[in-house]
A and B are shown apart, each in its own frame.
Chain A
Amino acid sequence: ELKVEQNPLFLSMQEGKNYTIYCNYSTTSDRLYWYRQDPGKSLESLFVLLSNGAVKQEGRLMASLDTKARLSTLHITAAVHDLSATYFCAVDMYSGGGADGLTFGKGTHLIIQP
């Protein structure tokens, strides 16, 4: 059974600071996704990581994937208040026969204070 663990689950930080969210998963997979969710809203896709060593950046967010360590990171640089949200990582249960769905971490609730 695939398990996905995120940490921390809650993070309060100040504007301008840097921080990293970690996502560990239990079985082999080379497909990992990061999503953002604002309160009462749906999930917004941030990054799609499809191979070992993949690194993607968008604005103040950068995501990476190490499939050998079964670890992905979401790094926040010089945080701003607008990045306050809940961030989820999810691993594709792709079996080779099709897209069997995602297993999600429990999410990291991020609050960025002035």
Chain B
Amino acid sequence: DAGITQSPRHKVTETGTPVTLRCHQTENHRYMYWYRQDPGHGLRLIHYSYGVKDTDKGEVSDGYSVSRSKTEDFLLTLESATSSQTSVYFCALGQENYGYTFGSGTRLTVV
């Protein structure tokens, strides 16, 4: 979507390796989020950020860490990828009273 870019779009990685997904925005939004989407579960919140260096855990944060060193970038890291982390990951921007805008997603496969 315009103003929010996720990279990479697709990634295959091996179990036990570290992986970092990037979310970049050009909208100067304060709030950014990482979700994962799995069949039968809808989307579940992993971590979110409400400003530079301000982050908090979501519903399914185990095995994930995040960093936000500047407003435009929100990084999601899998320290040691597991097969259970195979999923589609979406970044989102939040704006009070205007809703949330989602990126195009990253399809991650852990083999």
Q: Per-residue CB proximity of A82-114 to B under 8 Å, as 1/0?
A: 000000101000100011111111110000000
> Could you say which of B14-22, B63-71, B73-81, B91-99 contacts chain A?
B91-99
Report yes or no: B31 in contact with A99, Cβ–Cβ below 8 A: yes
Interface residues on A, range: 20 to 34
B46 and chain A: residue at smallest CB distance: A101
Interface residues on B, range: 20 to 34
A57 to B52, CA, bound (A): 37
- Other contacts beyond A43-B90, A50-B97, A99-B96: 15, CB < 8 A: A35-B102, A42-B102, A43-B102, A45-B99, A90-B43, A98-B30, A98-B31, A99-B50, A99-B94, A101-B94, A102-B33, A102-B100, A103-B59, A104-B43, A106-B41
Contact of B101 among A45, A98, A100, A103 (CB under 8 A): A45
A43 to B96, CA, bound (A): 18
Residues of A within 8 A of B103 (CB): 42
